[in-house]
Amino acid sequence: MTTLGVLVSGSGTNLQAILDAVASGKLRAKIGVVVSNVPTAKALERAKKAGVETAVIDHKAHPSREAFDAAVVEVLRDKGVDCVVLAGFMRIVTPVLLDAFPHRVVNIHPALLPAFPGVHAQRQALEYGVRVSGCTVHLVDTGTDTGPILAQATVPVLDDDTEETLRDRILAKEHALLPEVLQWIVEGRVHVVPAAAEGGRPRIRIEPRAA
Ligand code: GRF
């Protein structure tokens, strides 16, 4: 069975969606550990309530991003993790983590990438004036929100939206999409097609579910 390691920094509503999907059998995976870089993250309480192991690795206690990632990798390996989920994890990851789990680090971003990467994606969408936004689940590479796209879901942007109302509308989509994509990975249906040419992008092929 696939063992997930979920990295968090904050409220953990996406973690909750994963926990609920595992509990209901929609996501047939085990959560080996939830790792937070923030000791007070509400996500840690959600994990504990569900009986999932947690670890706090404070980035401030490490001299570099690489040293921090090495500490995270050690915990993930120790718990038998084979797929890593960044669920509101507010740190840029380095090749130390990515090379330890090739093509198996997944992120969720609250915008339709490649639009509005980085922080404050909902604010960026409102300031630009787009009429549609949404969320993107993608594999992580060394860029900020640049990795191959696994799936996207859209929401309308309304005239009277605030950052909060747009955030909540997008979050509802995130909570459905992330566990669904993780189940595709569990089923071995996600394939990375290498870039066709120098400087091109690797792409994703999702194998249809067996009939
Ligand atoms: C989500 O909007 C996610 O897309 C982004 O950070 C937020 C995390 O929310 N990467 P939560 O901690 O899962 O509630």
Q: pLDDT per residue over 59-90, tens digit each? A: 999 999 999 999 999 999 999 999 999 999 99
Q: Is 10 in the pocket of ligand 1 (CB under 6 A)?
A: yes
Q: Is the CB of 46 within 6 Å of ligand 1?
A: no
Residue 109 annotated as catalytic: yes
The CA dihedral of 167, 173, 176, 178, to the nearest 10 degrees, is -70
Residue nearest to atom 7 of ligand 1 (CA): 88
Measured from the Cα of 174, ligand 1's closest atom is 4
Ligand 1 binding pocket includes 174 (Cβ within 6 Å): yes
Residue of minimum CA distance from atom 6 in ligand 1: 88
CA of 22 from ligand 1 middle (Å) equals: 19
**Are 141 and 161 spatial neighbours (Cβ–Cβ below 8 Å)?**
no
pLDDT at residue 210, rounded to an integer: 81
Q: How much is the pLDDT for 56?
A: 98
Q: Whose CA is nearest to atom 5 of ligand 1?
A: 88
Task: Tell me the average pLDDT of the chain.
Answer: 97
- d(Cα 168, Cα 148) in Å, to the nearest integer? 25
CA-CA distance, 169 to 171, in Å (whole number)? Answer: 6
**pLDDT bucket at 211, cuts 50 / 70 / 90:** confident
H or E stretch at 206: strand 203-206
pLDDT, tens only, 111-141: 999 999 999 999 999 999 999 999 999 999 9
* Nearest to 133, CA basis, from 87, 180, 85, 165: 165
HSE-CB of 24 using CA atoms within 13 angstroms? 10
**Cα(6)–Cα(83) distance, rounded to whole angstroms?**
9
